[in-house]
Structure 1
Amino acid sequence: MQKILIITHSKDNASIDTVSGFLRESGAQVIRFNVDEYPLQCSLSSRFENGTWQIFLDRDGQRHSLHDITAVWYRRSHNLAYGLNQILEGTYLSSAQKEIRRTLFGMLESMPCFQIDTFSKYRRLDSKEEQMKIASALGLNIPDTCITNNPDEARDFVLSHPGGAIVKMQSSFAIYRDGKEHVVFTNIVSEKDLEAVDALQYCPMQFQEKLEKSKELRVTIVGDAVFTYAIDSQKMENAKIDWRREGNTLLDQWEPYQLPHEIEEKLLQIMDIYQINYGAIDIIVTPEEGYYFLEINAAGEYLWLDHLADGAISKQIARVLTGEAYRRYTPVLQKDRQPG
């Protein structure tokens, strides 16, 4: 029997249950590891004795062996060590959190089985600059871009693009006020904004030329399967610069889109270069039918599109995990371990 480990958190969305359902239909056993419950509600142990490694996850009085896992889906690691700050403080808290992260991700990185995808590959994809350099080298269009904390550099870039410029963060950036999360969306940069750009010195930002849009695409690639959907974000004023501002309103308005073959092939090449099996890619289509690559989201959300696709994306994730569909790499540590 195949044994699939899913790394997520207790408040993740229905994608976990949907993929798990497809996995169980195929006869696989599913173990869900909510990392926000580690280490306060569960224990993780790795032992090497008599020439053999064993890994155990203990929770709710049950012991799950992880050394015989056949595939891993690392989806989320939100709120790791949740609640530990109520028990430890100061130097002890910081040191314990570092050790918890090193233990969890060290174990995951070392597992001798197929993964969608390893934690180290997710971290490499944090570099938006590398993503754009690879895309450009493959012949994909990318927007004029400036990543800087130099106020003068930012002023020069913005003023050199009279058609407009936008600014955004490279990470999932949010500000918390009065206990509420305020996501920092993509915004237009005006000349008036440049009067306050000196504060950029303390936090680098990404500036790009403002592109006119006819469509915005979300291309979800799982293995070698490509699912492309488009939205006309320009029909809502508040969504023109960043469709996420009206994300809930636009949920049911995404439509299947036929991506040009040459664009699809180049996106698959990017997946090959990174050796990843999941990627959610954002693309802008201009009125002149120019395709501009923006970024790959290593663990980008897909559930709203999965509903429109009748679960096809989740099913493909399950098929890749069980080895029924194309996989992009074989783990270095894997020794004659074939899907059962």
Structure 2
Amino acid sequence: MDDHGPVLVLTNPYDVTADLVLRLLSERRVPVARFDPGIDLHAGASLTTGYRAGEQWGTLRTSSRELDITRVRSVWVRRPSPYAGPPGLSPQDRRFAAEQALWGVGGILASLPGARYVNHPWHNRAAEFKPSQLSTAQRCGFLVPSTIITNDPGEAREFVASFTGGAIYKPLWNSPYRVDGRPRSVWGREVREDEITDAVSVCPHLFQAKVGKVFDARVTAVGDQLFGVRIDSPDLDWRRRQDLMTCTPIEVPTRVARPVAAYLAEHRLVYGAFDFAVTASGDWYFLECNPNGQWAWQPDGTTTAVAHALADWLEKGFDT
């Protein structure tokens, strides 16, 4: 077995994407602990840490192992369950427990001494805000479609009317939404001036000039390694009907790779899933960067390459 500390993977038990990387680490005989703090702490797991005489100490105990958290070499913050509090409590007590877990356990797991994070949870959170993404993208040299974020219906109508090539609406966050008790997704879609009502005043809305794209592109970044995929879809938002899209590997132009590196550095990210709209003239317009986006849906060669790149980062840690 590897004589260095273990890799800690924070994710839910149904995360098959994480399994791809865990399998590689197992083949390399790298010790791994899988932990879902939002669930496991209510199923017998325990976490303790202390601070004394200039040192930190701590132990994580799960159903299958016990580890010294000060020896963790790297932490992969994948898809852990939300902190919901233990079942069986009153709503107020459950909410209290959930918040204590977030600020306590979440704080411990984000502060492991000497561990390398992919990505650090606080950096993930900061990089998830769309306004921050757009601002950073412009500073780093990406082409960014004209965009407005507003809760003023008049401003929204004026903005949408100003683009003869059309405009689109996007949600600022993928908030859970239900209609008649059934979950619904809010996709990016074209919007006309006459569709914008005073309901815009309820909350901020993001409107953006429609890019005359010929295809979409996903660039998955792991450190300085970039994996590009061309996405052809009949839909404006290819995520809507992924069974109708086709994906093929594509080279990432240098004029795109340089801003990607700058963007990752500014947000202090190791991993990022960048989405672009590509025009007939070869311009790549930045749409967003998901700091924890899914990647195992891509062609097999790309998926395998991303998995190896992530395993390399996690295996290395900071002290090897």
Report the number of matched residues.
315
Residue from 71, 76, 84 that aligns with 1:73:
76
Q: Is the 8 A contact 1:10 1:36 kept in 2?
A: no
Residue 54 of structure 1 deviates from its aligned partner by 2.1
When residues 64 and 306 of structure 1 are mapped into structure 2, their CA distance, relative to the original with a 3 A threshold, is farther
Q: Deviations along 1:21-68, whole A, 9 cap, x unmatched?
A: 111222210000123414311222212346532222223374333221
Q: Distance in 2 between matches of 1:11 and 1:172?
A: 20
Q: Is the 8 A contact 1:7 1:74 kept in 2?
A: yes
Q: Distance in 2 between matches of 1:232 and 1:160?
A: 28
- Match of residue 249 from structure 1: 244
Q: Distance in 1 between matches of 2:84 and 2:136?
A: 35
Scaled by the length of structure 1, what TM-score is found? 0.87
Q: Distance in 2 between matches of 1:57 and 1:148?
A: 45
Q: Is residue 91 of structure 1 aligned with residue 82 of structure 2?
A: no
Moved more, 54-63 or 93-102: 54-63
Q: Is the 8 A contact 1:36 1:78 kept in 2?
A: yes
Moved more, 274-283 or 158-167: 158-167
Q: Is residue 147 of structure 1 aligned with residue 149 of structure 2?
A: yes
Q: Is the 8 A contact 2:83 2:99 kept in 1?
A: no
- Percent identical among aligned pairs is 29
Amino acid at match of 2:167: A
- Match of residue 231 from structure 1: 231
When residues 10 and 269 of structure 1 are mapped into structure 2, their CA distance, relative to the original with a 3 A threshold, is same
Q: Distance in 2 between matches of 1:61 and 1:242?
A: 42
Q: Is residue 304 of structure 1 aligned with residue 297 of structure 2?
A: yes
Residue 203 of structure 1 deviates from its aligned partner by 2.0
Residue 269 of structure 1 deviates from its aligned partner by 1.4
Q: Deviations along 1:152-186, whole A, 9 cap, x unmatched?
A: 21111111122211001121223124543211110
When residues 307 and 78 of structure 1 are mapped into structure 2, their CA distance, relative to the original with a 3 A threshold, is farther
Q: Distance in 2 between matches of 1:310 and 1:132?
A: 27
Residue from 281, 303, 317 that aligns with 1:288:
281
Residue 313 of structure 1 deviates from its aligned partner by 0.5
Moved more, 115-124 or 92-101: 92-101
Residue 291 of structure 1 deviates from its aligned partner by 1.1
> Pairwise CA RMSD of aligned residues?
1.9
Aligned 1:1-340 pairs, distance under 5 A? 1-2=3-4, 3-12=6-15, 14-41=16-43, 42-49=45-52, 51-60=54-63, 62-81=65-84, 84=86, 86-112=87-113, 113-194=115-196, 197-233=197-233, 236=234, 239=235, 241-250=236-245, 253-305=246-298, 307-309=300-302, 311-323=304-316, 338-339=319-320
Q: Secondary structure at the match of 1:284?
A: strand
Q: Secondary structure at the match of 1:292?
A: strand
Q: Secondary structure at the match of 1:245?
A: coil
When residues 87 and 139 of structure 1 are mapped into structure 2, their CA distance, relative to the original with a 3 A threshold, is same
When residues 296 and 61 of structure 1 are mapped into structure 2, their CA distance, relative to the original with a 3 A threshold, is closer
Q: Which runs of 4+ in 1 moved over 6 A?
A: none
Q: Secondary structure at the match of 1:309?
A: helix
Q: Deviations along 1:108-166, whole A, 9 cap, x unmatched?
A: 22112111011110111022222222221232210000011111211111111222110
Amino acid at match of 1:40: H
Scaled by the length of structure 2, what TM-score is found? 0.92
Q: Secondary structure at the match of 1:73?
A: strand
Q: Deviations along 1:219-276, whole A, 9 cap, x unmatched?
A: 000011000000122xx2xx1x1011111332xx200111211211111111122221
Q: Distance in 2 between matches of 1:290 and 1:145?
A: 17
When residues 223 and 191 of structure 1 are mapped into structure 2, their CA distance, relative to the original with a 3 A threshold, is same
Q: Distance in 1 between matches of 2:33 and 2:135?
A: 38
Residue 69 of structure 1 deviates from its aligned partner by 0.5
Q: Is the 8 A contact 2:227 2:252 kept in 1?
A: no
Q: Secondary structure at the match of 1:244?
A: coil
Q: Is the 8 A contact 1:306 1:313 kept in 2?
A: no
Q: Secondary structure at the match of 2:307?
A: helix
Moved more, 144-153 or 277-286: 144-153
